[in-house]
Structure 1
Amino acid sequence: MQTATDKQTETMQLPQTLEPRNPGMDLDLDWVMRATANRSAIERRAATLPGRRSVKKVHQAAWLCRAITCIDLTTLAGDDTVGRVARLCAKARQPVRADLLEALGMEGLTVGAVCVYHDMVEAAVQALNGSGIPVAAVSTGFPAGLSPFHLRVAEIEESVKAGAAEIDIVISRRHVLTGNWDALYDEMKTFRAACGEAHVKAILATGELGTLQNVARASLVCMMAGADFIKTSTGKESVNATLPVSLVMIRAIREYFEETGYRVGYKPAGGISKAKDSLVYLSLMKEELGDRWLRNDLFRFGASSLLGDIERQLEHHVTGAYSASWRHASG
């Protein structure tokens, strides 16, 4: 693990300054159609992770601190207000009680980003001013992605203009379900262009893509079109991030890196609310992609309640006692 000083230096930069950006490539349909997924083998591999990988005591505390730096602290509720976003941003700046961070030697720890709807971007940017924490905006008719195409593109442009450094877009699921890879590629490429300097996370909504093979192929197409991250879910589907889906997407990332030399990030989102789950995902990233993908420029959790449980576990590590979960609200 890095020292607190190294970590502080890392998180005070925008994520996109740490790695050459994926420029994309021409659509290679032969490569896309070669992508397959052996469900039974993938599920067997995924099932071994929670019981096989375990970190304890100071090592667990270090991994949990790393997990905090990879959280996109998120509020995507219909009743969001400027006040709620301000509280969330305050939590992003100070994700764990100061006395606990001091005891851990992790002063200055922050989350990876704050993720909000477009209407809350300006409020979040203002609340995070000077922190080095980027604002991410969900866009393109989130969560269904069914608004008129020109409005989806305009929404990206407006969020970037408002100060969003990252844009989480949703793809048109029908392109995947009908095998229209050219349409998916063109859509993703247009979204990437609209983002300009802002980094783009492509949300595949994997719970609505039907098969793991579709997940693998959609992952490749979005990376070919220039996605900086591929992300599992909006958090609004009936099935969100799972380990089998993650394994498929992570191996597509590895294949893309081996072929092109460009690293693409990964973001599991939806349903990840327990500290132990974050450890499993970090272990999966380390085993499949290596230590480089354990930094927040290449790995994020989309989460709203995960931080509270991690803080609770860190308090137990420092004090030896568990506090009530309600004492660790995220916003």
Structure 2
Amino acid sequence: MTARTDPEREMLEAALRGDAGAAESLTRAIADLVWTACLRATRGGAETEATFCDVMTALRANDFVRLKGFDGRARLHVYVALVARDLLSERVVKNLALDGDNGWRCFEAFFADDIRRMILRNLPGTDHAQDREDAYQAVCEALLKNDMQRLRAYSGRGSPSGFILQVIENLVIDFVRTIVPRRRLPAPVQRLSALDQSIFRLLYWERLAPDHRVLLPHLPRAEPPTTAADVGEAIIRVRAALPPGYSADAYGIEKMVDISAADENLLAGGSEAVPTPEDRLLEGQEATLVEQAVTVLREAMPRLSATERLYLQYALHGHPAREIARITGLPVETVHKLAQRVKNTLRGEIGETDAVKKWRLSV
């Protein structure tokens, strides 16, 4: 049985050996991709055509030697896009030195998506919509400052696009620090994995929903890629590590109560606005019972399978079976069976413990 061949890699290897036919085939295969990239870095027309010719010439030089590092782990088009990006980034930096206004227009057109992507990763959520717009303006102003000194600092060594993206990332972080005070992770979370810590920040600092479709786009890239199941299990670990009832304001600032509004409620006959000592005692007793029941549940969680824990996570947040099926991609029938299995398991594990009995009686 022969090993599976990779036509793209075979074509590149033939071109690297100097095969003229393979070189022409490779040129045709990547031309559209390079043209699209050139359109982003130019104003169109003759400028785009000249840039395209220069980039293709650079790629074809010495039998495509710039593509020699391709190892087959990604698609060839992805690797070519990265090499072309570096060539265009270097050209953009040179244009900044030659023609500041035109060079900046090309730079912004080429890197705008990257700037916004980095800002979104650092300031996710609807609460930060205006902050993201402010961040974009602040980053652009910082890049333009002192005749674009930060961008002109590229020495010619290493990846030009890597250099530029690092400069942008640093500026985004600088802006975020001006609007979000530094916060320390709770001690139990500091002992968890990097993924768990990222999930904590998104859930408790950024107030994102505990849904993998919401959280995954905001997580750092990882190898292998983070899956929906990974996110679900991380949510469980984070919540198990935190004390019962833990909550954190997005900025670590306690909510303020408007005294005049409180007075209006009281004058309107809202006697429940001011709890009596008896109310506080009952609330404290109920909180204690809930805490004891949650502790027992937390101890039982590791004995559930990963799929069962993921189901329980969504179920405890009030998601119905059909919604859980849609989120997890499981058939509804499977979710119903999963629910029954989890209930039976938990009933056998913790149903007769004193803490759970007392809590059930209280409600």
The structure with the larger Rg is 2
TM-score, normalised via structure 2 length: 0.19
* Structure with larger RCO (C-alpha < 8 A, sep 6+): 1
Structure richer in strand, relative to its length: 1
Per the normalisation by structure 1, the TM-score is 0.20
Which of the pair is proportionally richer in helix? 2
